[in-house]
Amino acid sequence: MKRVITYGTFDLLHYGHINLLRRAKQYGDYLIVALSTDEFNWNEKQKKCYFSYEKRKQLLEAIRYVDLVIPEESWDQKSRDVKEYHVDTFVMGDDWEGKFDFLKEQCEVVYLPRTPEISTTQIKKDLNQ
């Protein structure tokens, strides 16, 4: 069984997120999503989420492409996760291109193009106008 992992906040879940998850799942049989916790988002990214970690986790678990949701609690857990979950392919959006190349020693690393016309940042901006 080929295992794939991706990481994200997945707040205000939208069709760009679904596109990423669908394409990530095409790289294997089992998709793991490491979901940023509320504490990690606030302390490390200075992001306040609209939905709590538990609500975002419930949404992701309802998506047919997602097999397992785990917490992302630190930037440096990626190597450990790849090893612990026997990951074959690490997938991220291409806005992170090159940032995770160090994982190529452990698994395949793939950067997928983002869905250009949608982002959570843009949704938040549009709602605040």
Residues carrying an active site annotation: 45, 47
The structure tokens listed for 121 are 């940042």
Distances (CA, A) of 4 to 23, 65, 81: 11, 11, 11
Burial degree of 37 (CB within 10 A; 0-12, 13-18, 19+): buried
Place of tokens 């294997």: 28
